[in-house]
Structure 1
Amino acid sequence: MRRFVFVCALFCSPFVFVPSHAQEHPQPAPDAPQAADQALPSELADAEASIAKSDWKTAAAKLDAYLASHSTDARALFDAGYVADHQDHLDEAAGFYRRAIGANPNSFEAHLAIGLLLARQGNKSEAHTELLAATTLDPGEAGPALKARAWRALARLDSPSPDGEGNPELASSELLEALKITPETASDTLLAADLAEASGQHDAAEAAYRRVLAGDPKSVAANSGLAHVLIESKHYPEAEKLVRTALEQRPDDPALNAQLATVLAAQNDADALPLLQKLHTAHPQDPAIMRMLADVLAQAGEFDASNKLYLSLLTKSPDDVDLLVAHGQNLIRQQHFAEAMASFDKASKLDSANPDAWSGIAFAASKLHQPAVAVHALTMRSRYLPEVPATYFLWATSYDSLNDRNAAITYYHHFLDSSGGKFPDQEWQARQRLQVLERK
């Protein structure tokens, strides 16, 4: 189940800083082509006055007129990019920012601006390059806080994505660089928690989430993030409370509802099934929801409905080992042993270290009267998991079918020693077979 943590990226909204020379009282920027003691051209000053008033159309017109005769003015090019950015003309804005960098490679604000823009567009590689360049430059009048913003944006780019890509160690170091410049914020703490969890430091992640909740008990991101940590450690009741608190803020959020369904399903709560069915109706192509619904349907004994979902998922991911194993387990429950064997066999070929695939092969083989196949599968499974009463019984009956009397006796005794009265039918069968085998 993928993680559902809702930390807003610094680059998820339109342009997030006001350049130093676009304030109410414009002053020459440190990256302007003019000397510091040279007056700002009146046409450019007028354009920046319009920017300060958020009069984007007027500013754009004035900048177009100015750039017609000053096409390499880095400051004016940056201003034009800034105006286009605010009007959501992102490709145009990127073009202006690139031209500004071409005119002045040391323009901190232009590197930062295009880095944030590219990050919003999902162009991580180029965004990373531009943001990293910004961290090496003097922010001048823009101030050190904006350099910290560049480091934070880098940390978010390098933080792990739902598909597992990312570099949590690098992201952590980038976040630390930001914290050397400006104080820690709640968003920083949430990111630190996210990175700690991605690195397997669950205690550190839990502590960070709890710090955020101490200051903001209704934080959706912290409640959801801490719930995920607690789900991993199987502390389901507290996790459920946290998710429900988050849902009070966002009752229709599909990710939060899916997280609640995960908690309910883990606790075998009957409310999980209708919640997942509602989510699936609203998001019929969401694979994570389909997987959960298929699993809960199987637990509820609705194997046909569950299998339809697994088959649908397998059409898109035919080599997904977990799906193949789950599909095979459904077929076992429906007593379609040959089909189940085929599904488990494919899973074992894709991942020879998957014990569930070998367990499935062993059980299906025993039902198909293939004891040698069952013994091989049990041998493979034993490399990765300890024996349990069910596998002891399969060992015993398989050796019994192969007429290996001594091995069958040994495993029947192992089964009876471990079963503890939980499998009365199999225990009766084991005792009956031992009476016969031990008389020979």
Structure 2
Amino acid sequence: MTSWIHSSLKLFPASGVLLVALSAYAQSAPLPPGTSIDDSNHGASSSSASPLTEAEAAIEAKEFDHARSLLDTFLSVHANDARALFDRGYVEDAQGHDEAAAGYYQKSIASDANQFEPRLALGLILARQGKAQEAHEQLEAASKLTPNPPNPAARAQALRALAQLDRIKDPDAAKQELLQALSLSPETPADTLLTGEIAEAEDDPVTAETAYRRVLNQQPDSSAATAGLAHVLIAQKKYSDAEPLIKTALARDPDDPALNTQLAIVLNAEGKQNEAISALEKLYSAQPNDAMIGGMLADAYTQSGAATKADPIYVQLLSKIPNDPDLLTARGENLIRQQRYLEAVTVLQKAVSLKSDNGNAWSSLAFAASETHQYQLEIDSLSARSKYLAETPATYFLWATAYDNLHHTKEAADYYHKFLTASNGGFPDQEWQAKHRLITLGK
């Protein structure tokens, strides 16, 4: 059966701080450059600098409607003015209008590709929208440009955002980007948290644990750092250390999904299945459309012997993602536990058609085929399984009984002997059957 503990560890990163961090970066984005530069250097629009400067003063005062009106009037005359286009995007960005803001930032970049500010701002919006590759392109370009006026903290902001994007897929690059950022501005707890995430991605649990504990020393209530430290401890199977840490954090933040998921993992690993299920039920009731949480709850029900409670969840998940081979395999195995073997055969056949290298799915299909007396399908499934997994006493017995039922005497006897050798007293009922069948077969 699929282990929900290990799969959830892979699916659930150390902390879900990327969007939070990027949103924070966006809130601290530098004000439009015109608020602190000499308008005489503005170039094409110098003769109309006064309305633009007035608009930027309105932005600084957070009078966004007034700034919008002034900028629209200005752009009606200077449609390609890069600075004014950035300012116009900033107005939309500050009011949470991501699409409109991105459009103006793109126009600003098209007008002057060497501006730092619109590239940073656009990169942050794209990152918040989950468009990682496009965001990376803009932020990388921004990191190589100079803000106007020069602003080391703003450039560090671009580097930190890059490091956030790179921390999983390219942790070495993320480390270098964070180091560059720290050379430009002081370290913050968010930087230390990011250090821990990068260390985890580099399979360096010692550095990761040190970083998370440093954050917690500075910010004891940091749920992100708690989740990160708990993730490290869970990976090291230090469940008794992780449990009180998570429960303390949940007392402050009872609805945090990362912490609740980790608590369920820890409780299950400690054999506290009822408590684990209770935690997952709470999560699932709050997030019924989350495939990972639903899959974990269904698997927990299955492992605890409540297969019938798991099945409706699998059905609901498959109605949304019908071609997920792992989900199909999990449901097929759950159907076997309910002794619904014919249905299991259909579901597992679809699973292996989508993912032919899943040895566990082939194992389950062979067993379901045996229970439905489809002996040739059983042999075909065992043959496919053998390409990916070693034989076990159980598979030897399945081979033997399938051949026996098909009256392939020689093959049946060979596998009964292999089963008896491998079993070595571990399966007394099946050993008794194998010995008596060998007598009957004269082998």
Which of the residues 404, 411, 421 maps onto 1:414?
421
Counterpart of 2:145 in structure 1 is 137
Counterpart of 2:409 in structure 1 is 403
Counterpart of 1:12 in structure 2 is 23
Task: Give the whole-Å Cα distance in 2 for the aligned partners of 1:170 and 1:433.
Answer: 63
Q: Which runs of 5+ in 1 are unaligned?
A: 161-165
The offset of 1:290, in angstroms, is 1.7
Task: Give the whole-Å Cα distance in 2 for the aligned partners of 1:30 and 1:192.
Answer: 43
Task: Give the whole-Å Cα distance in 1 for the aligned partners of 2:88 and 2:370.
Answer: 74
- Map 1:111-260 → 2, pairs under 5 A: 111-160=119-168, 167-168=170-171, 170-198=173-201, 205-260=208-263
For this pair of structures, how many residues does the alignment match? Answer: 427
Counterpart AA for 1:411: K
- Map 1:34-45 → 2, pairs under 5 A: 41-45=49-53
Larger RCO (alpha carbons 8 Å, 6+ apart) = 2
Counterpart AA for 1:82: Y
Maintained 8 Å contact 2:18/2:164: no
- Map 1:47-62 → 2, pairs under 5 A: 47-62=55-70
Maintained 8 Å contact 1:409/1:437: no
The offset of 1:307, in angstroms, is 1.6
1:3 is aligned to 2:3? no
**Matched position secondary structure for 1:81:** helix
Task: Give the whole-Å Cα distance in 2 for the aligned partners of 1:167 and 1:31.
Answer: 40
Task: Give the whole-Å Cα distance in 1 for the aligned partners of 2:206 and 2:380.
Answer: 41
The offset of 1:3, in angstroms, is 0.7
Counterpart AA for 2:158: A
After superposition, what is the alpha-carbon deviation per residue over 1:204-254, rounded to whole angstroms, capped at 9, x for unaligned? 544543443454444211221233344444443333333323323321223
Maintained 8 Å contact 1:358/1:377: yes
Task: Give the whole-Å Cα distance in 1 for the aligned partners of 2:435 and 2:40.
Answer: 90
After superposition, what is the alpha-carbon deviation per residue over 1:162-198, rounded to whole angstroms, capped at 9, x for unaligned? xxxx555554554444344344433234334434444
Counterpart AA for 2:344: A
Maintained 8 Å contact 2:403/2:409: yes
Q: 1:22 to 1:249 in 2, by over 3 A?
A: farther
Task: Give the whole-Å Cα distance in 2 for the aligned partners of 1:53 and 1:185.
Answer: 28
Q: 1:54 to 1:304 in 2, by over 3 A?
A: same
TM-score by structure 1 length? 0.81
The offset of 1:359, in angstroms, is 1.1
1:304 is aligned to 2:308? yes
Task: Give the whole-Å Cα distance in 1 for the aligned partners of 2:372 and 2:83.
Answer: 78
Task: Give the whole-Å Cα distance in 1 for the aligned partners of 2:105 and 2:40.
Answer: 16
Maintained 8 Å contact 1:31/1:104: no
Maintained 8 Å contact 1:341/1:361: yes
The offset of 1:407, in angstroms, is 1.3
Task: Give the whole-Å Cα distance in 1 for the aligned partners of 2:383 and 2:207.
Answer: 39
The offset of 1:144, in angstroms, is 1.9
The offset of 1:356, in angstroms, is 0.8
Counterpart AA for 1:11: L
After superposition, what is the alpha-carbon deviation per residue over 1:308-355, rounded to whole angstroms, capped at 9, x for unaligned? 221222222222221222222122222222322222222223222211
- Map 1:35-114 → 2, pairs under 5 A: 41-64=49-72, 73-114=81-122
Give the root-mean-square deviation of aligned CA atoms.
Answer: 3.6
Counterpart AA for 1:223: T
Task: Give the whole-Å Cα distance in 2 for the aligned partners of 1:73 and 1:336.
Answer: 69
Maintained 8 Å contact 1:15/1:116: no
1:28 is aligned to 2:38? yes
The offset of 1:125, in angstroms, is 4.6
After superposition, what is the alpha-carbon deviation per residue over 1:112-132, rounded to whole angstroms, capped at 9, x for unaligned? 223323433444454333322
After superposition, what is the alpha-carbon deviation per residue over 1:68-123, rounded to whole angstroms, capped at 9, x for unaligned? 65555544443343334323344444454445445543322232223323433444
Q: 1:379 to 1:237 in 2, by over 3 A?
A: farther
Counterpart of 1:361 in structure 2 is 365
1:326 is aligned to 2:326? no
Which of the residues 334, 337, 344 maps onto 2:341?
337
After superposition, what is the alpha-carbon deviation per residue over 1:26-78, rounded to whole angstroms, capped at 9, x for unaligned? 4428973389xx99955444444444433434444554555565555544443
Q: 1:307 to 1:117 in 2, by over 3 A?
A: closer
Task: Give the whole-Å Cα distance in 2 for the aligned partners of 1:175 and 1:29.
Answer: 34
1:290 is aligned to 2:294? yes
Maintained 8 Å contact 1:236/1:267: yes
Q: Which runs of 5+ in 2 are unaligned?
A: 1-7
More helix by share: 2
Counterpart of 1:277 in structure 2 is 281
**Matched position secondary structure for 1:12:** helix
Task: Give the whole-Å Cα distance in 1 for the aligned partners of 2:237 and 2:153.
Answer: 40
**Matched position secondary structure for 1:156:** helix
Maintained 8 Å contact 1:33/1:75: no
Counterpart AA for 1:385: L
Maintained 8 Å contact 2:396/2:416: no
Task: Give the whole-Å Cα distance in 2 for the aligned partners of 1:235 and 1:406.
Answer: 47
